[in-house]
A and B are shown apart, each in its own frame.
Chain A
């Protein structure tokens, strides 16, 4: 018996050792190793709704149009595109000789299939309405009648899209990863599983997936069939799928990764003090804000909302509490969002003046106290204890603690309720809160993407902000084809939002990351994406 056990043990040990020492996946050629997030939930363009997944889709797919390093819309799989005078018909002309990564031909029909798939209720794509809701026949198609969607291939090279109402930013949507082309034959043969295996993951972008070890890494390899393959200098991009920022940092310091997106916040102070040349802070198009439940007393009163907003020292929150990784927000719409003439929407808002003077905190607090008194709550008297709900991630708890202190100055008592992430969003959506943390990062560079959050019927209107004039302005903006007038409406809408304190903007989001100086030719876009497709790496 003992002998058998001993033998068994020896065999087990040997087997484990052999298994442990199996050779690592080899990747020859120039490989860039980066960390852009944890294991993506999905790499199916239609199903993805996450930023990290979207970033990887940029490596694998080439949409009709692309966004370049200056944030302009440029030709992608389509070499040119035209809009009819009424803004309703968009015609895209594809390049010659487009191919899938398996070498087969890619035609306008593939786009028709892919776009209809996004609308198909059986696909249940989260972004369907956002990207194609304005196309004629969308409502019908979303109920299952796919042929109703007015997206047609006039010939193998021409895609014609007819809209129900004008959409000035439809070119930006045509560059959105959700509308990437996917191969019909592969999907019909493999179902949803097609996007989970490298061998069935057929794409048309600069890279294809050679290997995917879930929760470990995804190895992208240069796609020789890509239309602009000559521009691609790397042989591989290896995305390490790391969830923990400390583990990501360890991979960066040990030299395994040349770029990491998740940097431990505890290290940031050190980087800034030592002026670490590999540490970057870039603004992205998004705002960290506070939602007030406008249907609950006392937040039904705009003066109370204004007072709460003015009592916050945004410079202190962004600069000190958030270690300078955020930027103080005097407006709802942050810097970087384009106005009608390409200038900054932010600079032109409120007649060129910020809505809140973030440098005059003492003055703001005095105003806040006066407003509260006008609202019938002098020194906060008569106000019940208010509850602030947040999930526990990043700086959320620190901000909540700060708000307790800041609003105490107005005589308001604040309870902080920390809710687990998966319960937090439904709670906020259901309006089951008084005040809550909120935030939005733009999907495409058009102010409507953020301003529409406060239309009374919008599903993301967590504060239930309800202002008829605001709704009317946004409706007018949606129907307007003249860019100047259209943006004028949106400026007016922001004026109302800020005057009514429909939400409390606190800070603008940034991406802070570590990137080796050896990487050249890459850029980071204000949507939070890293463009490594045309990057190179010095030896």
Chain B
């Protein structure tokens, strides 16, 4: 197991390096730059900015500096370089370090995303099980309609409809921001709706599969109660596909959704990521990309380990 983890960590570092390098050269290949504006600033000012942030150097030089550190020349920053976890300064939000942007915005996205994951799991797993155990009956049909809606409706529709209904028409929930406890309800629901429906479906099909297995029949024949059969034998096996889905889902949800964050005015990292691309804020693009890549890799690794814990038959190689 330990050997497996070490191997995965080395692979992870290589992957992150590859992602960082590709992103670095791709983003510079796109036309535009961080210092463009509708009103052009004087060539002198552009020159001064380029010099300050080292953008007058060749691309490979910039890459080496970004990766391995140095510069400063009166806080054009960089210093330690990515290799030492220093993401330097934002080029657009002057005065903010990229690390500060990530550490203030990620917790916001993670809090909303974490609640959404909980909601998706707490509702999705039982709902899927209920649908499977009542296959073909009215409860199954109702749940089927619900999950179809959840998968078919894009998140911006869910956001707009719930906001229109609960904050503009009924006036019982805030329309945005995260100032109040109740502010979390709409964005969390909007964010959870799709994974909730997806988990329900996954759970339903795998539960149906498990319930029909021989060992379940044996358990029932031995006279075990319905609840013991269900919780001890069926659920544990049926949940595996959900766990597989969990890794990418957690990474995706924690990192924040651009659309949900924009509509509900959540100061999260998802919105920041997208705006950094449209603004060509190179250092923020790099910082958030590396951070996301690491998050996804860690989540997938954790899920693989969780797999082993849930089903001891699985071997990690």
Q: Which of A42, A125, A240 contacts B177 (CB 8 A)?
A: A240
CB contacts under 8 Å to B, within A56-96, are none
The reply to whether B175 and A216 contact each other, CB–CB distance below 8 Å, is no
In this complex, how many residues of chain B approach chain A with their Cβ under 8 Å: the count is 63
> B95 — which chain A residues lie within 8 A by C-beta?
42, 44, 191-196
Instruction: Report the separation of the CA atoms of residues A253 and B176 in the bound assembly, to the nearest whole angstrom.
Output: 12
> A130 — which chain B residues lie within 8 A by C-beta?
42
Instruction: Report the separation of the CA atoms of residues A177 and B218 in the bound assembly, to the nearest whole angstrom.
Output: 80
A403 CB to closest chain B CB, in angstroms?
A: 20
The reply to whether B48 and A20 contact each other, CB–CB distance below 8 Å, is no
Instruction: Report the separation of the CA atoms of residues A391 and B60 in the bound assembly, to the nearest whole angstrom.
Output: 31
| A256 CB-CB contact with B under 8 Å | yes
Contacts A41-B92, A240-B265 given; does A250 touch B48 at CB 8 Å:
no
> B279 — which chain A residues lie within 8 A by C-beta?
422
A519 CB to closest chain B CB, in angstroms?
A: 20
Count of A-B contacts judged by CB separation below 8 Å: 165
The reply to whether A214 and B179 contact each other, CB–CB distance below 8 Å, is no
A243-257: contact bitstring with B at CB < 8 Å (1 yes, 0 no)?
110110011011010
The reply to whether B114 and A125 contact each other, CB–CB distance below 8 Å, is no
> A191 — which chain B residues lie within 8 A by C-beta?
75, 95
The reply to whether A439 and B42 contact each other, CB–CB distance below 8 Å, is no
Instruction: Report the separation of the CA atoms of residues A195 and B49 in the bound assembly, to the nearest whole angstrom.
Output: 18
B181-219: contact bitstring with A at CB < 8 Å (1 yes, 0 no)?
100100000000000000000000000000000000000
The reply to whether A423 and B30 contact each other, CB–CB distance below 8 Å, is yes
Instruction: Report the separation of the CA atoms of residues A123 and B114 in the bound assembly, to the nearest whole angstrom.
Output: 41
CB contacts under 8 Å to B, within A148-177, are none
A96-129: contact bitstring with B at CB < 8 Å (1 yes, 0 no)?
0000000000000000000000000111111111
B230 CB to closest chain A CB, in angstroms?
A: 14
Q: In which size bucket is the chain A interface?
A: 35 or more
| Among A274-282, A344-352, A362-370, A424-432, the stretch in contact with B | A424-432
The reply to whether A124 and B96 contact each other, CB–CB distance below 8 Å, is no
| B71 CB-CB contact with A under 8 Å | no
A1's nearest neighbour on chain B, judged by CB, is B309
Q: Which of B94, B160, B171 has the most CB of A within 10 A?
A: B94
The reply to whether B45 and A440 contact each other, CB–CB distance below 8 Å, is no
Contacts A21-B181, A196-B96, A256-B175 given; does A244 touch B45 at CB 8 Å:
no
The reply to whether A459 and B43 contact each other, CB–CB distance below 8 Å, is yes
> A49 — which chain B residues lie within 8 A by C-beta?
37, 39, 41
B90's nearest neighbour on chain A, judged by CB, is A41
The reply to whether B177 and A420 contact each other, CB–CB distance below 8 Å, is no
The reply to whether A250 and B168 contact each other, CB–CB distance below 8 Å, is yes
B34's nearest neighbour on chain A, judged by CB, is A422
A10 CB to closest chain B CB, in angstroms?
A: 11
Q: Which of A13, A128, A196 contacts B42 (CB 8 A)?
A: A128
Instruction: Report the separation of the CA atoms of residues A460 and B42 in the bound assembly, to the nearest whole angstrom.
Output: 9
| A12 CB-CB contact with B under 8 Å | yes
| B180 CB-CB contact with A under 8 Å | yes
B110-123: contact bitstring with A at CB < 8 Å (1 yes, 0 no)?
01001100100000
> B181 — which chain A residues lie within 8 A by C-beta?
20-22
Please give the residue numbers on chain A whose beta carbons come within 8 Å of chain B beta carbons, in ascending order: 1, 12-13, 16, 19-22, 24-25, 39, 41-42, 44, 47, 49, 121-130, 142, 191-196, 213-217, 240-244, 246-247, 250-251, 253-254, 256, 420-423, 425-427, 429, 439-440, 459-460
